[in-house]
Amino acid sequence: MRTTLKTFMTAPRTTFGLPMLALAWVSIAWGTTWLASKEGVKHMPALQLAAIRQFLGGALYVGFFLVKKTTWPKGKQWQSILILSMLNFVLSNGLSTWGVKFIPSGLGAIIGAMVPIWIAIISFFKGERVTRLAVIGIIIAFAGVCIIFYEHLADFIQRDFQFGILLSIAATITWAFGTLYTKKKAASFNPYFSLGLQMLISSVCLFALTGATGVTIPISQIPMASWWAIAYLVGIGSVLTFIAFIYALQNLPTELSSVYAYINPIVAVLVGAFLFDEILTTAIIVGGTVTLTGLYIINFAMQRQRILLKLKA
């Protein structure tokens, strides 16, 4: 892990190839984590899986920086870390992991990509101007979601399916709030160390929640299939891919570094269909394509608006 961190954190910013490789890794790897989560929660409580994943991932990050004797956060930096740990990991990651226990992982991934919709809506209610192009994007994305859900109309009579959809949507809303908070509070602390602390803090909260509610099973009863899923989620999802994600974010234009959000659902749907026998229908293909097109338009419109505002300032 030390070598990987050193490579990513010291690579020259003028190098375009390595950031693109990092982005390609993020685009594919995070798409597969939806399947790993789905496989893991088949055999154990979802929030317990999320707690173990975040504890192990956070411990690796924090342990690395303790060895490096990195300076700890101070004052208001802790406030940002605590808020983001709740929004991004306790709520968003915890709820999305719980959600795929009841719905197909591909559907969960498509819902997970809907963050730009909530960012646009939250921004509107905060009094910010939402462009006509962004509104068109929202309408297109909503139409795509309707096409997808048309395929699942019969499933909506099942309470578990309804609950899974509700959890997944709530997860995207909390991630949108986390994204907006991050933009508002520009990072003034090592993002990798911050990430590890967020994971570790969130794991403590989730362990407390599962312990208090009794929604847990003894460690000795967790089957090997779930442990393999956790290992994949920690090694690939929480460590390597987050390192690559932050590196790509720091070294690529925003409009390029956000491409992963449109590729992740495609990877999740295709892998789910070919390896996990999840049903791949015409409605999912068409609806997913329409939804991702709408999300791209929203993201493009909001980025263009930010650029124009900067130019006017």
Mean of the pLDDT values across residues 86-111? 93
pLDDT digits (tens, 9 = 90+) for 1-12: 544 445 444 444
Which pLDDT belongs to residue 8?
43
Residues 265 and 313 sit within 8 Å (Cβ to Cβ): no
Structure token digits, residue 75: 């004052």
Instruction: Name the pTM for this structure.
Output: 0.84
Please, what is the end-to-end C-alpha distance for the chain in angstroms?
Answer: 42
C-alpha 44, offset from chain centre: 21
Which pLDDT belongs to residue 278?
76
* 310 vs 161, residue with greater confidence: 161
Which pLDDT belongs to residue 249?
78
| Extents of the domains making up the chain | 15-312
Confidence category of residue 179, pLDDT binned at 50, 70, 90: confident
Which pLDDT belongs to residue 188?
66
Percentage of residues in the chain having pLDDT higher than 90: 42
Confidence category of residue 186, pLDDT binned at 50, 70, 90: low
In whole angstroms, what is the distance from residue 285 CA to residue 273 CA?
11
pLDDT digits (tens, 9 = 90+) for 229-265: 999 999 999 899 988 888 887 787 766 667 788 888 8
Mean of the pLDDT values across residues 46-75? 94
Q: What single string gives the DSSP state of each residue in 15-79?
A: --HHHHHHHHHHHHHHHHHHHHHHHHHTSS-HHHHHHHHHHHHHHHHHHHHHHTTPPPP-THHHH
Mean of the pLDDT values across residues 27-39? 92
C-alpha 161, offset from chain centre: 21
